[in-house]
Amino acid sequence: MIDLRSDTVTHPTPSMWEAISHAEVGDDVYHEDPTVNRLERMAADRVGKEAALFVSSGTMGNLIALMGHCRRGDEAIVGRHSHTFIDEVGGAAGIAGVQLNTLPNQPDGTLFLEEIAAAIRPGDDIHCPHTSLIILENTHAECGGVPLTTEYTRQVGELAHANGLRLHIDGARLFNAAVALGIPARDLAQPADTVTFCLSKGLCAPAGSMLCGTEEFIQRARKIRKQLGGGMRQVGILAAAGIVALQENIERLAEDHRRMKLLAAGLDEIEGLKVDFKLPPDTNILFLSLDEDVPMDSQELYQRLKAEGLLCMPYGGKCFRLVTHYWINDEDIDRAVDIFHSVLRQ
């Protein structure tokens, strides 16, 4: 089965299994797991922050950031197509007590600066919630994996700080953005007060994300993590894989991007398919739609592709998503294009 549903389906590399089997562990709730401590130092250095915290998922990392930056009843500005708004089970409202003010994402994943400025609530109006935070997503998954530039992120950071707000970056695929733009991840993260990134997507670790920020913020975040039930004990066995991910798997993300360009070019030639965002894609994510005259929706397409040995992610209607990752090779790309040809001819 060629699994192009997501880069979350990756499993550990051989060197990760080796590191896991020899990991030195301790009680991380007491901050005594040496492997976790090493991973946290490494993660903070990669994105140019003072400290980092190992958390179970990007969703937990983003929620902790919300709780650390905002008081209950505050408001955070996010994109309408952001992961925080769409895919995190309403945790901002249900757990953090934070209201999300959603703005339209542009096709390149950005929010218009003037719309962000207009959304900041006047601090002297007793009818309004207090605006505390702006959240950006890089790469922006729902906008075709597009990377946000350092210049745009700097402008948002300056706007936030000039108005007494904080900036958080949901950088689940931050290293995909850095590799695509040819710059260090720390440059993309520099304007942000906090940033999360995922170890278990294209970087191939079995689980975990990192939340990075100042020493003071991460100390507060460590307590919030415990409150959320995220205090893990001998978790160095997972952190060991995360260390390998940061040492070995960042630069090779370029291979995922190259293969996605090959896949997109092949699918773009098939009658009945249209690419929803820019061509060629910037990173490892591709959204496509079936033409209106194709007599099936994305769910039926999923079933037909699955029967031929290919998995995609249906998004409702005629839209679906494909994602390349470590365990997809050039032969898989050729075979995927052939399967689409076969199914669409039927």
For residue 146, give the DSSP letter: B
Mean pLDDT of the chain: 97
| pLDDT, position 74 | 97
- Model confidence over 289-326: pLDDT tens digits? 999 999 999 999 999 999 999 999 999 899 999 999 99
Read off φ and ψ for residue 34, nearest 5 degrees: -65, -30
Sorted by where each begins, the domain ranges of the chain are 11-248, 252-345
Strands 209-213 and 194-198: antiparallel
pLDDT of res. 278: 84
Phi first, then psi: give them for residue 265, nearest 5 degrees.
-65, -40
Residue 129: predicted pLDDT: 96
Mean pLDDT confidence for 319-340: 98
Out of 3.40.50.300, 3.40.640.10, 3.90.1150.110, 3.20.20.70, select the CATH number for domain 11-248: 3.40.640.10
The percent of residues above 70 in pLDDT, for the chain, comes to 100
pLDDT tens digit sequence for 89-127: 999 999 999 999 999 999 999 999 999 999 999 988 999
CA distance 318 to 305: 14
pLDDT beyond 90 at 136? yes
Q: Give the pLDDT mean for 222-250.
A: 97
List 53's β-bridge partners, or say none.
211
pLDDT at 231 over 90: yes
pLDDT confidence of residue 346: 84
| pLDDT for residue 256 is more than 90 | yes
162-190 mean pLDDT: 98
CB atoms within 10 A of CB 258: 15
Q: What is the CATH number of domain 252-345?
A: 3.90.1150.10
Residue 277: per-residue pLDDT: 87
| Rounded alpha-carbon distances, angstroms, from residue 41 to 35, 124, 294, 323 | 10, 41, 52, 30
Same fold yes or no, 11-248 and 252-345: no
What is the residue type of 41?
R
Alpha helices in the chain (DSSP H): 14-21, 34-46, 58-69, 83-86, 91-94, 113-119, 150-162, 174-181, 185-189, 215-227, 236-248, 253-268, 298-307, 330-345
Three-state secondary structure string covering 301-313: HHHHHHHCCEECE
Separation of alpha carbons 288 and 276, rounded Å: 5
Interhelix angle 236-248/34-46, rounded to 10 degrees, is: 30
pLDDT of residue 316: 87
Indicate whether 40 pLDDT > 90.
yes
Overall average pLDDT of the 13-19 stretch: 98
Instruction: Check residue 60 and give its pLDDT.
Output: 98
How confident is the model at residue 272, as a pLDDT?
A: 93
83 residue type, one letter: H
Residue 341 has pLDDT above 90, yes or no: yes
Residues in the chain: 346
Number of Cβ within 10 Å of residue 249's Cβ equals: 21
Q: Per-residue pLDDT tens for 278-295?
A: 889 999 999 999 999 999
Q: Which residue has the tokens 């197509």?
A: 81
